[in-house]
Amino acid sequence: MHIKVAIIEDNVTLRSSLQDIFDDSGYMKVVSSLESCYQIVPEYKQTLPDVALVDIGLKNNESGIDCVHIIRQYFPEIRIMMFTVFEDDDKIFDSICAGASGYLLKKTPPEEIIRSLIALFEGGAPMTPSIANRTLELFRDKIHPPQTEWGLTSREKEILKLLAEGYTYQNIASKLFISISTVRTHIMHIYEKLQVNSKIEAIRKLKL
């Protein structure tokens, strides 16, 4: 049984090349070839594709992510693969949130595109390796945003900044008009909050 593929790509030459690659693969058959989101609904009702390969940057400022929304709304059973030159975080995140299950860069070799569409059809979520790494980082940051303040008070941040600039405890005490004992207490609290044991570790953790 051939996998029924739909292509949405505004570059006529690339769209034609992709169709030839898929039709000659022995595994799939292109049943729809569009250059925009227009006609998706009536076309897909007739052709019933299994997977859709969707470019992000389309003509007339149209976005393939809009196509993903349309496909997911009317044909939730179709598996969607983004096929694009874009590697930026917003495009990746928006595509996945819209409902895409895969993300390939256009520099991907033809044989890898075929393997990825087969994997997509079988329920996988194939991505170009660099995109997979970015996706993991994106969602990890969304769930656990990187801590940049760590609960430090303005005074503690001021003292740590002075330490990073090479000030001694005595210099800091003189500059801030506090005792060395108070400086040591602040530094002890800084270490506890940052969960470190030295000035170098603290500076590295806050990337000062």
Residue of 128, 96, 100, 123 whose CA lies nearest to 112? 128
Q: Which segments of the chain belong to CATH 1.10.10.10?
A: 154-205
In angstroms, the Cα distances linking 136 to 82, 89, 191 are 17, 11, 30
- Per-residue pLDDT, 88: 80
For every one of its 208 residues, what pLDDT tens digit does the chain have, with 9 covering 90 and above? 799 999 999 999 999 999 999 999 999 999 999 999 999 999 999 999 999 999 999 988 889 999 999 999 999 999 999 999 988 878 888 898 899 999 999 999 999 999 999 999 999 999 988 888 877 776 666 655 556 667 888 899 899 999 999 999 999 999 999 999 999 999 999 998 888 888 888 888 777 5
How confident is the model at residue 145, as a pLDDT? 55
Q: Are 4 and 53 in contact (CB under 8 A)?
A: no
Name the CATH architecture for the domain at 3-143. Answer: 3-Layer(aba) Sandwich (3.40)
154-205 — its CATH code? 1.10.10.10
The structure tokens listed for 207 are 């990337």
Domain boundaries for CATH 3.40.50.2300 within the chain: 3-143
Buried b / exposed e along 48-72 (16+ C-beta atoms within 10 A) = ebbbbbbbbebeeebbbbbbbebbe
- Strands in 79-84's sheet, in edge-to-edge order, are 28-34, 3-8, 51-54, 79-84, 102-105
CA distance 173 to 199: 16
Side-chain-side CA neighbours of 27 within 13 Å: the count stands at 16
Question: What pLDDT does 86 receive?
Answer: 86
| Residue 14: Cβ-neighbour burial (10 angstroms; 0-12, 13-18, 19+) | middle
pLDDT of residue 11: 95
| Model pLDDT, residue 141 | 62
What is the number of alpha carbons within 13 Å of residue 115 lying toward its C-beta?
Answer: 8
Predicted pLDDT of residue 51: 98
